[in-house]
Amino acid sequence: MFDSKGLEVLQPTECLRLLSEAPIGRIVFTDQALPAVQPVNFVLDGDSVVIRTAVGSKLAAAARNSIVAFEVDDIDLKYQRGWSVTVVGHAEMVTDTSEIDRLSTLPLRPWAPGERNHFVRIRMELIHGRRICPPAQAAS
């Protein structure tokens, strides 16, 4: 199915597959009443996106039951194709010790320097995806 702009609308199962294969995403949150975007590595854990962060970070402050957006994409400029998946949900700091221990075993190692032993969970409430195809494919 295509939307009114000619982009292919992705089904939730395809969105989850693409999300699970992407190494980097962007979290969109509010920082001092302004929108902020931060690239992060992440892991998909069931119906949640999980991110590691440092105590006292802007991301940790923003993750106190706030509604955030999370986006991943893959774009091929040469062939004019790609996709984008967006998740919207409540972000929360994980505080339960047994859950922190479990999340620590997931394949999620921080790329940024410094200690990042706090976990942010975004529970997916909405998931949307679009795929752009070269103009000749989209018209058919």
Give the domain ranges of the chain. Answer: 8-139
Report the share of the chain in percent with pLDDT over 70.
Answer: 95
| Higher-pLDDT residue of 47, 133 | 47
Average of per-residue pLDDT across 39-54:
92
Residue 26: band (very low, low, confident or very high) from pLDDT cuts 50, 70, 90 = very high
pLDDT in tens, 70-102: 999 999 988 889 999 999 999 999 999 999 999
pLDDT band at 137 (very low <50, low <70, confident <90, very high): low
Query: Average of pLDDT values for 121-133?
Result: 94
Q: 3-state SS string over the chain?
A: CECCCCCEECCHHHHHHHHHHCCEEEEEEEECCEEEEEEEECEEECCEEEEEECCCCHHHHHCEEEEEEEEEEEEECCCCEEEEEEEEEEEEECCCHHHHHHHHCCCCCCCCCCCCCEEEEEEEEEEEEEEECCHHHHHC
Provide CATH code, domain 8-139. Answer: 2.30.110.10
